[in-house]
Amino acid sequence: MDEHPSLAVSTVIFALRDSELWTPLVRRIRQPYQDRWALPGGWVAPQEGLETTAARKLLETTQLDPTYLEQLYCFGDIGRSPSGRVVSVVYWALVRPDQAERSSDDDNVRWFRADALPGLAFDHNRIVEYALWRLRNKMAHSSIAHGFLGETFTLAELRGVHEAVRGATLDPANFRRQVLAGGSIVPTGEHVVGASHRPPALYRYTDATLVDQGPLLASALTDRED
């Protein structure tokens, strides 16, 4: 009765594909929930920081290596694992399409649409739902959309991120007006290079936005020990 609970870490990764949010899952190769899909993760290593363990497990299982993981929540319900008390510290990150390409589907890793998941192991459906809720909340008042984009982007690309996360179609003219009025992005003066007759303008987030907000930027709270 006085044993400590087991401590695990897991990570929710979101990426944008074809204007929809996708997340990679890993097939469980042992009980409990053998063969079910689950979030990438594993046990906390004794001599490793939580975030470091999360990043290592993520890289080992999915080949994904996000530059920043943000802690999402610590899940500790007593009934969440049938094999004993397990407390899971969950991290999350966004990856750009070029980063996501490092992780392709195979027998044990598969990308799913974040809003159309199968029944996952443990309480992982609930965890992904919470991560989606947090993502949508953050979109409203931070530069988090940047995590899906490169350094520069078109207004159509930025609108695509908002449409994918919010699950809604946005009017291009209204979106343009609102986002430019917000002052968080500025034109770079460059345009998309290509064959188009009228190449779209490229924008970037202002430095102030990047410093203040967004889960992809290190805060005073990251616990990287490596």
The site for a second copy (CB under 8 A) is made up of 1-7, 43-44, 46-50, 71, 73-79, 85, 87, 89, 130, 133, 141, 220-221, 223, 225
> Residue 127 Cβ, how far from a second copy at the closest point, in Å?
10
> Residue 33 Cβ, how far from a second copy at the closest point, in Å?
20
Least Cα distance to 20 among 91, 110, 106, 111 occurs for 111
> Residue 50 Cβ, how far from a second copy at the closest point, in Å?
4
Handedness of CA 167, 21, 10, 81 (dihedral sign): positive
> Residue 226 Cβ, how far from a second copy at the closest point, in Å?
10
Q: Which is nearer to a second copy, 74 or 211 (CB)?
A: 74
Show the tokens assigned to 93.
Answer: 């990150």
Q: Which is nearer to a second copy, 27 or 85 (CB)?
A: 85
Q: Which residues of 156-187 are buried (b: 16+ CB within 10 A; e: fewer)?
A: ebbbbbbbbbeeeeeeeeebeeebeeeebbee
Q: Which is nearer to a second copy, 77 or 190 (CB)?
A: 77
> Residue 27 Cβ, how far from a second copy at the closest point, in Å?
24
Q: Are 120 and 79 in contact (CB under 8 A)?
A: no
| 222 to 70, 175, 214, 216: CA distances (angstroms) | 8, 33, 13, 11
Burial of 200 (0-12, 13-18, 19+ CB in 10 A): middle
> Residue 52 Cβ, how far from a second copy at the closest point, in Å?
9
Q: Which is nearer to a second copy, 16 or 216 (CB)?
A: 216
Q: Which is nearer to a second copy, 7 or 180 (CB)?
A: 7
Q: Return the SS3 of 69.
A: coil
Alpha carbon distance 88, 122 (integer Å): 11
Least Cα distance to 213 among 103, 7, 70 occurs for 70
Q: Which is nearer to a second copy, 52 or 103 (CB)?
A: 52
